[in-house]
Amino acid sequence: MSLTLQKALPEDKTILENLYSLYLHDLSLYSNSIEVSANGSFIYDDMSMIWNEEGVVPYFIQSGEKLAGFLLLLERPFLKKTSDYSINDIFILNTYRGKGLGQEVLKTLFDQKKGKYFVVELERNKPAVIFWKKVYERLGISYEERKELVDDEPCLIQTFEV
């Protein structure tokens, strides 16, 4: 299976919004603060930030010619702390889950963008926590982990360098 990370463009806004709704639906299982809107979809409140802030970079994940998910990368100048990058969100459509696509996407990203990263997971989101631990193990990445409240939600924050 050929995998590509393709930068999303402003004209792709609707596609990204649709994927975000699916992502937030999944995430709502682990967060009390994510709720469906009056029109029946999940809306990312900061969607305009994606298109208006330098250093907020959305990518589509393609498997062959098919859309398989998205990744939202934060980088400088948006990030002002000690990290170069943060994988803010990664979402793989159900059809592609469990096939190593997420790990392959991250390996591709890490090969292209070397530096210091951080990742934040909701502590209750056990599938995400397990996913990231497998990524670190399989890609031979050493990481440090701490617990912290983020937006009143217990989270795990991992920092690492590639």
Give the start-end residues of each E strand in 39-142.
Answer: 56-63, 66-75, 85-92, 116-122
pLDDT in tens, 103-132: 999 999 999 999 999 999 999 999 999 999
CA-nearest of 109, 131, 11, 126 to 61 is 109
- In the structure encoding, which two tokens stand for residue 33, read together? 């603060």
Residue 28 has pLDDT above 80, yes or no: yes
* Interval 9-26 mean pLDDT: 96
The range of the structural domain enclosing residue 80 comes to 3-161
Contact 147, 123 (CB under 8 A): yes
Q: What is the CATH number of the domain that holds 111?
A: 3.40.630.30
User: Mean pLDDT across the stretch 44-54?
Assistant: 89
The pLDDT of residue 1 is above 70? no
Say what the pLDDT of residue 55 is: 96
pLDDT surpasses 90 at 137: yes
**Domain count along the chain:** 1
